[in-house]
Amino acid sequence: MTSFPLPQPDAVRPIRSLTLEHYSEGPVIDLEGNLYFSHGTSISRMAPGGEPSVWATSAAPNGHKILANGEHLVCDATEHGVLRFDRDGGPLGRAAGGRCQDLEIDGPNDICLHPGEGFYFTDCLPGKGAVIFVDLEGRQKVVARDMDTPNGIVLSADARSLFVSESLPNRVTLIPLAGPGQAAGPPRVFADLPRHPGGETDGKNLPDGMALDRDKRLWVAHYGMAAVQVLSPEGRLLASYGTGMRCTSNICFAGADLATAFVTGGDGEPSPGGLVRLDVGVPGLPVLPAGG
């Protein structure tokens, strides 16, 4: 039995918080509730109820998480690495990149933390993508390989599974874990996602960033579908919430009790990007480690 019932989709209207010049990505909040998101070459920060201001820049910022010590980790495919920034947006170099075992890291896309152990990120390549783990000493390890455009990534609440969106096959894959950075078996399909009528592909059905709520449901930003899909802990589609942005890219929970979903995306370059709020009243699973 769920503790936080999902609202009916027709009761949740997307509220456009911002219209941006560029497609947006990588939403995340800090311990003070400030929201960060990427657009173009900028990462902006927006205080609750405030206006956004540019916090940092990089070549192509994407997935973003914040460590217990206040440092930030940002995926950047153009830089072929995961970049580190201090709490004020100052660059600190790379946290990951180069070679990992026999693989050359090419296109880091999204990232999730394994509290007290390190972090995982996706290297997003068609047919030859990978999930890579980086421990607290900076050692890199391939967790899964030969994945098809691995994109969004989320660690389960019990840290025993990784959920990875594989964009081109339009599915979410589950990787069982035996421990930090150690797969317990091969990836398996967790859920196939809805498609446009007629089954069109070509950028129209691409799962992207994801987040978990406190009832272990998986919220999937569905690029090309103008929606966030909500999956049960068993992978069954429970609800679909419209975002008003065809190219929905990523999602995070923020606000009081983490019960508001903020969604990034746009209508595709060079059309404007945006930041949309969904007042779902369902608390997200916290992804921030305790402050250091």
* CB-CB neighbours of 98 under 10 Å: 11
How would residue 271 be classed by pLDDT, with cut points 50, 70 and 90? confident
Is residue 270 over pLDDT 80?
no
Between 271 and 86, the higher pLDDT residue:
86
pTM of the predicted model as reported, rounded to 2 decimal places: 0.96
Mean residue pLDDT across the chain: 95
236-260: per-residue pLDDT in tens?
999 999 999 999 999 999 998 999 9
User: CA dist 146 to 91, 228, 247, Å?
Assistant: 32, 26, 25
What was the pLDDT predicted at 132? 98
Contacts of 231-239 with C-beta under 8 Å, sequence gap 24+, read 231/172, 231/190, 231/191, 235/172, 235/174, 235/190, 235/191, 236/191, 237/191, 237/193, 237/194, 238/6, 239/6, 239/9
141-185: per-residue pLDDT in tens?
999 999 999 999 999 999 999 999 999 999 999 999 999 999 999
The enclosing H or E element of 72 equals strand 72-76
What was the pLDDT predicted at 272? 87
What was the pLDDT predicted at 203? 56
Query: Dihedral sign, CA of 178, 182, 184, 187?
Result: positive
Region 122-142 average pLDDT: 97
What was the pLDDT predicted at 102? 96
Q: Which domains does the chain have, with CATH numbers?
A: 9-278 (2.120.10.30)
